[in-house]
């Protein structure tokens, strides 16, 4: 079962002035990363990546069951 409270979200500043958004879940080991598009609001990109992450995690859990 997916526990949203265990999902970790990190915003990482890269050396070449970019930023990276990382979403991970320690128990499954699943992690997704995406470089931030400075032309779009970070909040929208974060929400979109979390939706993709949750769908991927749910699919992985179904396949393991």
What CATH number did the domain enclosing 19 receive?
3.30.160
Query: What's the domain count of the chain?
Result: 1
Residue 1 confidence (pLDDT)? 53
Q: What is the pLDDT of residue 46?
A: 94
The predicted structure's pLDDT at residue 61:
74
For the chain, list residues with pLDDT below 70.
Answer: 1-3, 64-65
**Calpha distance 15→30 (Å, rounded):** 25
Listed residue (47, 44, 6, 38) closest to 20, CA to CA? 38
- What is the model's pLDDT at position 59? 86
For residue 19, what are the domain limits? Answer: 4-64
Phi, psi of 63 (to 5 degrees): -65, -30
């Amino acid at each position: 079962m997916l526990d949203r409270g265990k999902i970790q979200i990190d915003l990482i500043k890269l050396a070449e002035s970019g930023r990276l958004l990382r979403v991970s879940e320690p128990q499954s080991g699943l992690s997704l990363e995406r470089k931030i598009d400075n032309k779009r609001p970070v909040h929208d990109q974060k929400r979109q990546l979390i939706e993709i992450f949750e769908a991927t995690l749910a699919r992985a859990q179904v396949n393991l069951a």
